[in-house]
């Protein structure tokens, strides 16, 4: 750890939060695969492609989070049973409508954003700028994706609040 110049005692909590985030992203990834395989209806073509885009992004983040934990000189959690135990994201039915799938994903985005912020707060306490930078990018991307999914489910007569 000395080569990073971080205090190991402060980094332990960041790693704990990163492992929760890793578990959350694993379950989110699998949910996206489920939705990609099982979406039906008039929005099939759009959502089938979008869900694939999202699960490919989640797969990349899973690897990056695990590699960040390794960079911090800790071992990432890597068992599905452990992920199921520590994740706040839960499995979903395969029999949801397209709108229910989007609503479920937006709920999961809220969970992910909360955990991303917990990781950032812990990293800030430990002076871990590398983790803070990684989380900041993830937060920005997920907020944008959430906005787009929310816009997809809006009715055309709904409007945004004026500035």
Per the structure block, which two tokens stand in for 97? 């409508």
Task: Find out whether 27 and 84 touch, Cβ atoms under 8 Å.
Answer: yes
Once rounded to an integer, what is the mean pLDDT over residues 122-143?
98
Helix (H) / strand (E) containing 73: none
Measuring CA to CA, how many Å separate 15 from each of 94, 95, 123?
32, 35, 9
- By C-alpha distance, which of 72, 79, 89 is closest to 18? 72
Q: What is the pTM of this model?
A: 0.94
pLDDT grade for 1, boundaries at 50, 70 and 90: low
Class of domain 7-153: mainly alpha
Whole-number percent of the chain with pLDDT over 90: 92
Per the structure block, which two tokens stand in for 10? 């402060």
- Residue length of the chain: 163
pLDDT digits (tens, 9 = 90+) for 34-85: 999 999 999 999 999 999 999 999 999 999 999 999 999 999 999 999 999 9
DSSP state at residue 43: T
Per the structure block, which two tokens stand in for 17? 């939060």
Q: How do the domains of the chain map onto residue ranges? A: 7-153
How high is the pLDDT of residue 105? 98
Whole-number percent of the chain with pLDDT over 70: 99
Task: Find out whether 89 and 108 touch, Cβ atoms under 8 Å.
Answer: yes
What's the distance, Cα to Cα, between the start and end of the chain in Å? 47
Total Cβ atoms within 10 A of residue 108: 22
């Amino acid at each position: 750890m000395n080569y990073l110049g971080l205090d190991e005692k402060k980094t332990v909590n960041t790693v704990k939060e990163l492992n929760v985030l890793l578990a959350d992203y694993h379950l989110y990834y699998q949910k996206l695969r489920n939705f990609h395989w099982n979406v039906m209806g008039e929005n099939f073509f759009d959502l089938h492609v979008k869900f694939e885009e999202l699960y490919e992004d989640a797969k990349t983040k899973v690897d990056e989070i695990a590699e960040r934990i390794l960079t911090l000189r800790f071992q990432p959690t890597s068992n599905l049973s452990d992920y199921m135990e520590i994740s706040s994201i839960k499995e979903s039915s395969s029999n949801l409508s397209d709108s229910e799938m989007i609503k479920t994903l937006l709920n999961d985005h809220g969970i992910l954003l909360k955990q991303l912020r917990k990781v950032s707060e812990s990293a800030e306490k430990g002076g871990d700028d590398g983790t803070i930078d990684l989380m900041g990018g993830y937060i920005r991307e997920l907020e944008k994706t959430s906005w787009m999914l929310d816009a997809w489910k809006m009715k055309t007569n709904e409007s945004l609040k004026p500035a």
